Structure 1
Amino acid sequence: MPSTSLCQEETCTPYSLMDDYSEGAHPQILEALLRTNSTQQVSYGGDEYSNAARQLIREKINCTGDEADIFFVPSGTSANLISIASCLRPYEAVITLDSGHIACKEAGAIEATGHKLIVVPAVDGKMTPTYLQKAIQQNQFFPHMAKPRLLYLSNASETGTVYTKCELSSLAAICKNASLLLLMDGARLGTALCSTKNDMTLRDIFDLTDIFWIGGTKAGALMGEAIVVKKDLAEGFVFHLKQHGALLAKGRTLGVQFVELFRSGLFFALASHANHMARKISACFESLGYPLAADTETNQVFVVLPELLVRRLQERFRFYIWEQRDDEQAVVRIVTSWATDEVQVDKFNAWVQQWTASKELATE
């Protein structure tokens, strides 16, 4: 896997384990953008590269053009917003987890389109049949309540956990029985598919959802997400792209990137690298007795650390304080990426081991 970061000395800027989009793009993608730069192409996603990318993605899913349309958008927020806006009437609502990206990380983008969010608790970062059924049953006082119409999930979840085929099948069955559509946010779908906990193929996900999208931004692309829409929901979808400012004149730039991600397995190789780096960090914490706040199933590590250790690590590494437990402990989130340097991971683990063994921490 690539090691693109510069040598990180103690006096340099702290190395980022904050997210999986701090780096730009994989060199292979940048080279492809340069190589194709001077060719003249049809605009707005009708170019040869976007068409080739659609075909490659369909081949990975094992579906045909008669089954699904594929649309490229620049960001995850636009993917969620457009997917939901395209298939809901103004009085229809979205069921989501309280930790769902659309609930707490997208500045009310869904509510701004006039759709209510019905928020339920997460269990291990995921939706459960029990909570889904309860949300449906508690929102049936029509026409005085917004009508549940769509279930929103993320895979991997916001805490890095992965849906199994059995779990997704159970949720899909409830949705079908209640006439709900099922949307899967795939910002980190690559890491989910490459997780040791995963037992699903892209075809399984296609069969069990109505719309899902494949994240490129967090998977080595410069930017871009690919929305996979079943044919019966695809009519007029492009108008929603245009109205929401996501139909790029130079749509070729997205197509080129997804061709590179999928023509040779790069998408899966980069996701596997991110997962491997997270497992190394997680294993180190566990070996030293630090409790994990969530199972490390993909490229996110959630661990409970003493406040002093958090401060010491922040001198050399950047990461996110997920939850301040009290004055003495915090849950931190560490995210690895397609480009995370294994040398830096080894340094991080070495510092954790050194400070854990030090008298300073031992006396806290």
Structure 2
Amino acid sequence: MYDFLNDYNQTVHPHLLKNFIDIADKKLSGYGLDDICDHAIESIKKQLKSPKADIHFMPGGTITNLTVISHILRPYQAVIATDTGHINVHETGAIEATGHKVLTVQTEDGKLTPELIKPVLTHHCDEHMVQPKLVYISNTTELGTVYTKQELKKLYQFCQKNHLYLYLDGARLAMALTAKDNDITFPDLAKYTDVFYIGGTKVGAFAGEAVIFNNLSINQDFRFSMKQKGAILAKSWVVAVQIKALMQNNLYLELGKHSNEMADKLKTLFEKAGLTFIAKPQSNQLFVNCPTQLAEKILAHYAVDNLGQTDAKHIGLRFCTSWSTQDEEIELFAEQFQTWLA
């Protein structure tokens, strides 16, 4: 059975593993205060063209989100997200557990716009309600869609005008930056967000993300928040050595592009079969409407995400390809898929 369930089911990219072996005999300082972390930080700043960025290494996405968001917000403030946003659906109420409400907005494509946020600001008008202060987005979104540069810029400018902070979850940032419809670059992220993170877990790393503060008015004492939330690793270089390797020789973007290309092959297969998509296919996540009998056959033979009935005759399935997905695996699925269609 091949696993199309997620993009972190392979252990680690060989190049990253080699970097671990290369430092096996080194003695390193702890808590992110070592040469490897320093070098990784410089490599990220070079990509961003932002020498003043404040960068920290974190073990995973959920702890990154809860640490960043709870650090920025005051006790009476809230974060705005889409109804499909990761902090709303897949983090076990982590944000609420820190004392901050998640204000959700329903969207069709998983993306936030100023027009969707305005009613939230209008509704939360006084001290009898939580105060919206942070806008949370992800790129790619939880539906696999991507923001354009103009959309990101417009959203950031809206946030500035309304005294909101903009935070971008970059768990699948490599896939977003290499999507066919993308025109955002690393320097754009430094310019049009207050804080974002570069995800490694879903792009070939054992685990780990790099948080980048572009707005240096909100990062004061962030390491205290990290320590309190259990987000400072004694061996922070475990994350840094991987992020540094991903930033070298365009590896990060190459792996994201490969993930997207594998999904594009599946997209073509589904389109030829006349299947439709729940969300516009733009990256390595495909949300497919499958006739119930076909979906049941797929689920019996492949690990994919079952989204449940989308209507009386269809089941929604999510296919997720990764940096490690091979052409042969797609071809084998295509052969089996064609027999089921017949």
Alignment of 1:105 with 2:94, yes or no, is: no
| Of 158, 170, 173, the match for 2:154 | 170
CA contact 1:126–1:163 (8 Å) conserved in 2: yes
User: Is the aligned partner of 1:60 residue 2:47?
Assistant: yes
Matches within 5 A, 1:31-46: 31-46=18-33
1:5 counterpart residue number: none
| Equivalent pair of 1:133/1:174 in contact (CA under 8 Å) | no
Q: CA RMSD in A?
A: 1.0
Match in the other structure for 1:11: none
More divergent stretch after superposition (189-198 vs 314-323): 314-323
CA distance in 2: counterparts of 1:277 and 1:41, whole angstroms: 38
- Structure 1 position 201 matched with structure 2 position 188: no
> How far off its partner does 1:84 sit?
0.5
Counterpart-to-counterpart distance in 2, 1:333 and 1:298: 12
Q: How does 1:212-223 map to 2 (within 5 A)?
A: 212-223=196-207
Identical pairs, percent: 39
Partner SS state of residue 305, structure 1: strand
Distance 1:158 1:135 in 2: 21
1:7 is matched with none
SS in 2 for 1:221: coil
Unmatched tracts of structure 2, length 5 or more: none
Alignment TM-score, normalising by the size of structure 2:
0.98
**Secondary structure of 1:127's match?**
coil
Instruction: State whether residues 313 and 351 of structure 1, in contact with CA within 8 Å, keep that contact through their aligned partners in structure 2.
Output: no
Query: Does 1:248 find its partner at 2:261?
Result: no
SS at match of 2:243: helix
Once the two structures are TM-superposed, the CA of residue 327 in structure 1 deviates from its matched residue by 5.0
Q: What are the within-5 Å matches in structure 2 for residues 91-240 of structure 1?
A: 91-140=76-125, 142-230=126-214, 231-240=216-225
Deviation readout 1:17-46 (Å, 9 max, x if unpaired)? 000011111011111112212200111111
CA distance in 2, matches of 1:178, 1:185: 21
**Is the contact between residue 187 and residue 216 of structure 1 (CA under 8 Å) also seen in structure 2?**
yes
Deviation at 1:350? 1.8
Confirm whether residue 329 of structure 1 aligns to residue 311 of structure 2: no
Query: Is 1:262 paired with 2:247?
Result: yes
Find the aligned partners of 1:197 and 1:125 in 2 and give their Cα distance: 16
1:158-204 CA-to-partner distances (Å, cap 9, x unmatched) read 00000001111121121111100000000001100000111111111
Matched residue SS, 1:17: coil
Unaligned residue ranges in structure 1 (runs of 5+) = 1-13, 358-364
2-side partners of 1:306 and 1:42: how far apart? 56
Q: How far apart, CA to CA, are the structure 2 residues paired with 1:192 and 1:147? A: 30
SS of the residue corresponding to residue 318 of structure 1 reads coil
Pairing 1:289-308 to 2, within 5 Å after superposition: 289-308=274-293
**What is the alpha-carbon distance in structure 1 between the residues aligned to residue 265 and residue 303 of structure 2?**
17
What is the alpha-carbon distance in structure 2 between the residues aligned to residue 322 and residue 60 of structure 1? 37
Match of 2:7 among 14, 20, 29: 20
Tell me the alpha carbon deviations over residues 221-279 of structure 1, each in whole angstroms, 9 at most, x when there is no partner.
00000000122222201111100101011111111111111122111111111000000
